[in-house]
Structure 1
């Protein structure tokens, strides 16, 4: 027994494959024409042929992450007394020249890049114990700075007039 003859040579998948190939060719042709006319950045901005153009920013930091970074000090690992052996985020051992951040609330220590990457995901607590980065006594000050940095107060004006 074998497969029926009608199923071994399907017409529809071949037609679909030819249509996709044709669309790919048309896309490349349009892209080439745009590159020749100088409008290549409109179609594929990440593949710009202009070497003087700066690299696009692919990484945005939230305002709160930037303010937390300002609050958490960066020190050399060699300056610490009785430090842990490894970073709890990446699990690599610390070197004497590593830049680290020590959290003010829980006193946990992490590589600066590990903690910064954690904050870039809009995390505001210790990756190990979930204690907030900002102590309770500084939270009001932090919130005021966050409000001022967001620019919302400039847009809406003085809110004390509305609430009073």
Structure 2
């Protein structure tokens, strides 16, 4: 046997879900009409539409992300091709593995130090801003082994902790 189920428990959630779906559809319809009529300024300024990407950089970037960005300079695709030479050009990627757009000569590119993969700077910067510390393609660390100690020292200094403990004195026995 089982527990008896009344129809009121089944009907109420379906009615609630149907009502909420209708309200969501009605809200999207009004937003579309306002946008169509050029009156999108009536939308609240803090409102972000779900199908529109957020513009601008994130509010705060971690110290590690800022240091990684500093370590990976931005170059144009033409500069990278010129620095590698024509004999290595077939080895270079022709498109960004994040957005799949082909590289143009004037595109700003960040080339990874360990694996040498290339990405549009805006694509890999979003990856870095989410505190990812590895290549989006092969997961190799952004910071090479020989620079890891220097990176950690800079990160420690940027955190402000050394200033807090600078007046540290050893504990003496009472």
Partner SS state of residue 146, structure 1 = helix
Deviation at 1:73, TM superposition (A): 1.4
Q: Which of 127, 141, 157 does residue 148 from structure 1 map onto?
A: 157
Partner SS state of residue 84, structure 1 = coil
Name the structure 2 match of 1:65. Answer: 65
CA distance in 2, matches of 1:147, 1:45: 38
CA distance in 2, matches of 1:140, 1:126: 19
Name the structure 2 match of 1:101. Answer: 110
User: Over residues 42-69 of structure 1, what are the superposed CA-to-partner deviations in whole Å (9 max), with x where a residue is unaligned?
Assistant: xx9959xxxxxxxxx8521110000001
CA distance in 1, matches of 2:76, 2:115: 19
Deviation at 1:80, TM superposition (A): 2.2
Partner SS state of residue 100, structure 1 = strand
CA distance in 1, matches of 2:121, 2:170: 42
- Give me the CA root mean square deviation: 3.0
Name the structure 1 match of 2:132. Answer: 123
Name the structure 2 match of 1:135. Answer: 144
CA distance in 2, matches of 1:154, 1:45: 40
CA distance in 2, matches of 1:58, 1:120: 8
User: TM-score when scaled to structure 1?
Assistant: 0.62
CA distance in 2, matches of 1:127, 1:107: 12
Partner SS state of residue 61, structure 2 = coil
Listed as ranges, the gaps of 5+ residues in structure 1 are: 1-6, 8-12, 14-43, 48-56
Partner SS state of residue 110, structure 1 = strand
Pair 121,58 (structure 1): closer, same or farther in 2 beyond 3 Å: closer
Partner SS state of residue 80, structure 1 = helix
Pick the structure with greater CA Rg: 1
| Structure 1 runs, 4 residues or longer, greater than 4 Å off | 44-47
